[in-house]
Amino acid sequence: MLNRLRNVVKRLENIPLSFRGFLVTLLCIIFSRNFLETFSDRDNYWTPVSFQAFFIHYPLFYLCVFVVLTIILQVLTREKIERIAKIMLCFFPLVLSAPVLDLVLSSGEGYNMSYLFGDLTYLARQVITFSWGYSGRGATPGIQIELLAVFALVGSYVFLKTGRMILTVVGMVACYFAIFVLGAMPSLVIIICNLTDSALSPVAMFGGEVVLHHFYSFNQKIALVFYPVLLLVLGYWFWLYDRGKFWALVKNLRGLRTVHYLGMLGLGMFLGYAGLRQTPALTSLFPLLILQ
């Protein structure tokens, strides 16, 4: 039985697929999930979400999830990361199950799906209890069932590749913590910023803000958080894929010139801020990030 499953996994890992086909398929799955959430998330009231959420915020989140889980599986199994990415793609449509399950379990009414907002004590309780007991927001019952299926698949894959139960458990726990961190990202950003006793609230940090006569919403702000995260994990993913090409790319970035340009940008932002007639208080770093 195990040998048959290993053969199935091997065939999935070796599916002939171009990079373009891979990327298009992945994005289609993500956009399909976004579309289904239009009907299952009660905050939407059966109306399309904003452009920033549908095409920027949500894709960045799911891409981070996909890349991080792929990296975890590669570290544990030592399989080629491109093969792991292919089998991840085969099972990634599982993300479509949460909105459907939410609609079924709520008799068509849906649930309020959101990030986990709270202090460190709240997050610790949620991570220990698997966010069990839906309280009106956060991880919905559909998401909880979806995650259980994800962890089962992760554990099965690691066990089939390694045959070691300890690595199977480590893989499941690592994936759980990775997804939890991404799902609690706004709260973690606030907690880190409040280490300096600034006492920022979620509204002050992620609420709508006008910068240079333009309004920036929660979706745009959280996208600014996930964007550098995605760049970092993609960089590590590329390093695992081909270290030679990775270092060649790093050398072509011309680090000294990049630092010079960033320094000039920072100086211009500082002079512009200092030259304002009425200098506003910076309640967060988002205005500076938006300017970049």
Q: Tens digits of per-residue pLDDT, 210-250?
A: 555 455 678 888 888 999 999 999 999 999 999 999 999 88
Rounded CA gap, 34 and 266, in Å? 36
Q: Is the pLDDT of residue 104 over 70?
A: yes
Q: Please, which residues have CB within 8 angstroms of residue 255's CB and are 6 or more apart in sequence?
A: none
Q: Please, which residues have CB within 8 angstroms of residue 286's CB and are 6 or more apart in sequence?
A: 205, 209, 211, 216, 221, 224
* C-alpha torsion sign, points 94, 99, 104, 105: positive
Nearest alpha-carbon partner for 157 in 96, 76, 89, 71: 76
Instruction: Name the E strands within the chain.
Output: 209-211, 214-216
Q: What is the pLDDT of residue 192?
A: 84
Q: How far is CA 129 from the centre of its chain?
A: 21
Helix 58-77 vs helix 141-162: crossing angle, to nearest 10:
30
Domain ranges of the chain: 2-252
Q: What is the pLDDT of residue 16?
A: 92
Q: What is the pLDDT of residue 6?
A: 86
Q: What is the pLDDT of residue 27?
A: 97
Query: What is the average pLDDT across 191-204?
Result: 71
**211 DSSP assignment:** E
Q: What is the pLDDT of residue 215?
A: 57
Rounded CA gap, 77 and 157, in Å? 9
Rounded CA gap, 283 and 94, in Å? 39
Q: Give the confidence band of 152 by pLDDT, cuts at 50, 70, 90.
A: very high
Look up residue 250 and give its two tokens.
């790093």
Q: Is the pLDDT of residue 146 over 70?
A: yes
Nearest alpha-carbon partner for 71 in 194, 240, 226: 240
Could you report the per-residue pLDDT of 66-100, keeping only the tens digit for each? 999 999 999 999 999 999 999 999 999 999 999 99
Q: Give the confidence band of 191 by pLDDT, cuts at 50, 70, 90.
A: confident
Q: What is the pLDDT of residue 102?
A: 92
Counting Cα atoms < 13 Å in the Cβ hemisphere of 100 gives 8
Q: What is the pLDDT of residue 277?
A: 56
Helix 218-241 vs helix 81-91: crossing angle, to nearest 10:
140
Q: What are residue 211's DSSP bridge partners?
A: 214
Q: Give the confidence band of 48 by pLDDT, cuts at 50, 70, 90.
A: low
CA-based Rg of the chain, rounded to a whole angstrom?
21
